[in-house]
Each structure stands twice: as structure tokens, then as C-alpha cells.
């Protein structure tokens, strides 16, 4: 009995093993077929993509231009007032009045401050009285000398008596002259109690308010107010060592043009002429200080402001010009991607003369009229076939790219032909 059960168990185990083997073998066959189908589909897609890359690359290009371009020196300059005056008191006293507001524009000769005049008026009156007294004494001495002159000739008086009269007259004449000078000095001190503007310009902040005691100004004392002449105005900047040779060739030109703009803004703020070149090179910077005069009628420039300066030395009439995007950096120097007559790419080394904004002047390597690639695809290599993208083509391709399903694939150059192979589409790569 036990032996029968044992045989029955063996039969069941063998049957179960056979069923398991059949199940796993079937799954492996299904997976292999699926993998084979997937590989075939992937290969088809890869063939489609490979065929698209084999056609011409769509690029953006431009023509090399020949046009007038200026030879310039760029730098950073500081605005300076052509005239700047620190107004100080010339006499001591109590400040009575300020006849302007801080920041006002004032004219030359305009009354700005008035100091208490009473002490100076008293000094004027005192000097005037002393002068009147001495003038009376001088008149008496001259009369006495006139009376004694005929008497000394007739020897009614001694010569010594007459000499005393003459000496007294001359002494009083000197005293009167001194008193007149003292009176003028007193009047001058009185005039200093009214402080007038020496120049036309814009005032700064006040350092003393009315009611305060002011002292006669010295070079070290704080001025009452600072006045800057705002127009015309100067811009000072340095011509660096690398530009000195070019600058020397044109420094005698009295019409060197200067253009001024603010940092971060290409808009021109003002224009002027070079008016000053220093007579020595700064040993620390190796540059030379120069200044330009600008009209600044609207006072858009203020002293102390930093500006971008462009000094125009001359204009090159036939410069070879390309966009900055067309020039590529390389280990052996700058180069460009040139498109030949067969629409194939050639690499050409160029020498950059200078750059003005996004325009690059080429000194060597181009003559003008050549086609250059300005947007370089990643897959671009020398000898590659390219097709120049027409204006507006990018927008049209973008619209077709919004399609769905097979239509969308066709717009990308991945559609299938009737025979199942990849078929090129209009607007896609060939």
C-alpha cells in the first residue's frame, strides 16, 4: 500500500515539473519575439534619424560687409566742472541773510550772503572823521607856509622858522594820505559783508545758516557754499598704454571727437571735442590724462559722475565688418565658418582688428561679400553640407511641429514612405 502511494507521488511530481518547464519555455519564446520586434523597430527609427542627419544642416548666415568704421579709444571718464569755486567769508561777523536756496542756479555777481555791517560802518565813519580832521590841519599848515614864504625872502624871519612850517605841511600831507587809505580799507571791509557769486553755476549745500558767526576764510576752513559751473562741462579720462601709439599719431588733430554714454546703456548722452592733453605720462598707470569739453546745456551730466568715453581718432572708409556672433574663438586664434559656392563649410582663420559693440572689424582673412555662419549647430564640421535658413522659416517650422501622430513625425523629417522607408519631407533635412 505504501509502495503505491509512493509511485503515485512520483508521477504527480513529474507531471508538475513538465508543466512548469512548458510554461517558462513559452514565456521565454514570447519575450524573445517581443525583444526582436522592439529591436527591429528601434533599428528602423535609428535608420530614420541617421538618414535625417545625413542631409544638409539648416544654418543662419550673413554676408561680410565693407563699410566705414571709426577707429576709437574706449575708456571710463569722470565728469569735472570747468569752473568750481568754494565761496568763503573774507571778514568775520554774524551771518544775517542767505539770498538763495541750496541747489539753485545763480548768476555771476548775484548777492548770496550778507554779514552784519554795523561794525564795518563804524570803522568807515571813524576813518572818514580822521581824514577830515587831518585835511583841516593840512589846510592850516599850507596857509602858514604861504604867509612865511615872503617873509623869509625879506629876511624878516629866519630860514629855520620857515623850514619848520614846510615840514609841518609835508607831515600833514602824509597823514591825510594815510587816512584816505584807511578809509578805503574800511570801505573795502564793509563791501566784504556782502558776498556775491564769482561765477554762474549751480550751488551746493550750505555749511552755515543765518545767525551763526562766520570767520574770515582760509584755505583750510569750510566754505559757505560750493558753486560748480555746469555748462559747458569737462570729462577727464586716461589714454592707456596700449592705445598711446595710435593716440600720438592723431593728438595734433584739434577736432578729435568724443562720445559719452552711461555704463550699461549704449544710448549716446553727449558729444564734444578734445580740449586738453597732459604734458606727462602717469608713471603708475602708464597712460596720459586727457579732457573733453561738452556743452551740457540741459545739465544731464554732473561733476563726479562716471561715464563711458569713446574717443574717435579717425574713420576707416572701407573696413571689413562682421557680426560678433560669426567670430569663433580657437586655440590658434579667432576663426569663422565660411560657406563656399557649393554650400559646404570651410574654416578660415581671421585676425580681429577691433570691436565696436556687436560689430567686429577684421584686419586679415576676409575681403567682403563672403557668407559666414552666425548660428553654429553642434554637429557642424568642416566640409559639411549646409542650407541657409530663409527669414521667417523658423516660425513656419515651429507651427508644423505642433501636429500630432504621424503628421507631427513627418514635419520633423521622420515620416515613412509607401515602402516603409524613411521619406524626406519639405522643410526637413534631406
Say yes or no: 167 and 232 in one domain.
Answer: no
Q: What is the model's pLDDT at position 8?
A: 53
Q: Which three three-digit cell numbers place residue 126?
A: 571813524
Say yes or no: 383 and 272 in one domain.
Answer: no
The predicted model scores a pTM of 0.63
Q: Which residue has the cell 561733476?
A: 303
Q: What is the model's pLDDT at position 403?
A: 42
Q: What is the model's pLDDT at position 246?
A: 85
**Average pLDDT value for residue range 129-134:** 95
Evaluate if residue 106 carries a pLDDT over 80: yes
Final residue before a domain boundary, out of 204, 222, 240: 222
* 155: confidence class by pLDDT, cuts 50, 70, 90: confident
Q: Are strands 306-323 and 65-81 parallel, antiparallel or unpaired?
A: antiparallel
Say yes or no: 259 and 210 in one domain.
Answer: no
Q: What is the model's pLDDT at position 391?
A: 55
Looking up residue 237, the CATH number of its domain turns out to be: 2.40.30.170
Say yes or no: 187 and 252 in one domain.
Answer: no
Say yes or no: 125 and 216 in one domain.
Answer: yes
Evaluate if residue 12 carries a pLDDT over 80: no
> 150-154, 158-162, 251-255, 320-324 — which is least confidently predicted?
251-255
Q: Which one, of 191, 24, 19, lies nearest residue 93 by Cα? A: 191
Model pLDDT for residues 176-190, shown as the tens digit of each residue: 999 999 999 999 999
Evaluate if residue 245 carries a pLDDT over 90: no
Say yes or no: 193 and 308 in one domain.
Answer: no
Evaluate if residue 254 carries a pLDDT over 70: no
**Average pLDDT value for residue range 163-176:** 94
Q: What is the pLDDT of the chain when averaged over all its residues?
A: 81
Say yes or no: 188 and 149 in one domain.
Answer: yes
Say yes or no: 94 and 215 in one domain.
Answer: yes
Whether 213 and 92 have beta carbons less than 8 Å apart is answered as yes
Domain count of the chain?
3
Q: Where are the beta strands (DSSP E) in 134-267?
A: 194-196, 201-203, 213-214, 225-228, 233-239, 257-261
Say yes or no: 310 and 348 in one domain.
Answer: no
**Domain range for 298:** 72-82+227-316
- Asked whether residue 401 is domain-assigned, the answer is no
- Asked whether residue 121 is domain-assigned, the answer is yes
Looking up residue 372, the CATH number of its domain turns out to be: 2.40.420.20
Say yes or no: 118 and 218 in one domain.
Answer: yes
Evaluate if residue 293 carries a pLDDT over 50: yes
Amino acid at each position: 500500500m505504501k509502495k503505491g502511494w509512493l509511485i503515485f507521488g512520483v508521477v504527480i511530481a513529474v507531471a508538475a515539473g513538465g508543466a512548469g518547464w512548458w510554461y517558462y519555455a513559452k514565456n521565454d519564446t514570447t519575450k524573445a519575439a517581443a525583444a526582436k520586434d522592439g529591436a527591429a523597430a528601434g533599428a528602423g527609427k535609428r535608420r530614420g534619424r541617421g538618414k535625417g542627419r545625413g542631409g544638409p544642416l539648416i544654418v543662419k548666415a550673413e554676408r561680410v560687409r565693407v563699410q566705414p568704421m571709426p577707429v576709437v579709444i574706449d575708456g571710463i571718464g569722470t565728469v569735472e566742472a570747468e569752473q568750481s569755486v568754494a565761496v568763503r567769508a573774507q571778514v568775520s561777523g554774524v551771518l544775517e541773510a542767505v539770498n538763495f536756496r541750496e541747489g539753485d542756479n545763480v548768476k555771476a555777481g548775484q548777492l548770496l550772503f550778507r554779514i552784519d555791517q554795523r561794525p564795518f560802518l563804524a570803522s568807515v565813519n571813524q576813518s572818514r572823521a580822521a581824514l577830515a580832521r587831518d585835511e583841516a590841519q593840512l589846510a592850516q599848515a599850507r596857509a602858514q607856509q604861504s604867509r612865511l614864504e615872503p617873509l623869509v625872502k625879506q629876511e624878516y624871519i629866519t630860514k629855520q622858522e620857515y623850514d619848520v612850517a614846510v615840514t609841518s605841511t609835508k607831515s600833514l600831507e602824509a597823514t591825510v594820505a594815510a587816512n584816505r587809505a584807511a578809509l578805503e580799507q574800511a570801505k573795502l571791509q564793509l563791501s566784504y559783508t556782502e558776498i556775491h557769486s564769482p561765477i554762474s553755476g549751480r550751488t551746493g549745500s550750505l555749511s552755515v545758516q543765518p545767525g551763526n558767526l562766520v570767520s574770515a576764510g582760509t584755505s583750510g576752513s569750510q566754505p559757505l557754499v560750493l558753486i560748480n559751473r555746469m555748462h559747458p562741462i569737462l570729462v577727464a579720462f586716461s589714454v592707456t598704454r596700449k592705445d598711446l601709439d595710435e593716440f600720438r599719431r592723431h593728438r595734433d588733430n584739434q577736432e578729435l571727437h568724443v562720445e559719452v554714454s552711461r555704463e550699461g546703456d549704449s544710448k549716446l548722452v553727449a558729444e564734444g571735442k578734445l580740449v586738453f592733453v597732459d604734458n606727462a605720462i602717469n608713471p603708475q598707470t602708464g597712460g596720459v590724462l586727457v579732457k573733453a569739453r561738452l556743452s551740457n546745456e540741459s545739465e544731464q551730466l554732473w561733476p563726479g559722475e562716471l561715464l563711458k568715453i569713446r574717443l574717435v581718432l579717425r574713420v576707416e572708409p572701407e573696413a571689413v565688418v562682421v557680426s560678433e556672433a560669426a567670430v569663433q574663438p580657437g586655440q590658434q586664434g579667432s576663426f569663422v565658418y565660411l560657406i563656399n559656392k557649393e554650400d559646404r563649410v570651410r574654416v578660415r582663420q581671421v585676425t580681429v582688428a577691433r570691436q565696436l559693440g556687436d560689430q567686429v572689424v577684421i584686419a586679415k582673412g576676409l575681403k567682403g561679400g563672403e557668407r559666414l555662419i552666425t548660428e553654429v549647430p553642434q554637429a557642424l564640421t568642416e566640409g559639411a553640407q549646409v542650407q541657409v535658413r530663409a527669414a521667417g522659416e523658423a516660425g513656419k517650422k515651429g507651427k508644423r511641429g505642433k501636429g500630432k501622430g504621424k503628421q507631427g513625425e513627418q514635419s520633423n523629417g521622420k515620416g515613412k514612405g509607401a515602402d516603409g522607408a524613411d521619406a524626406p519631407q519639405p522643410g526637413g533635412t534631406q
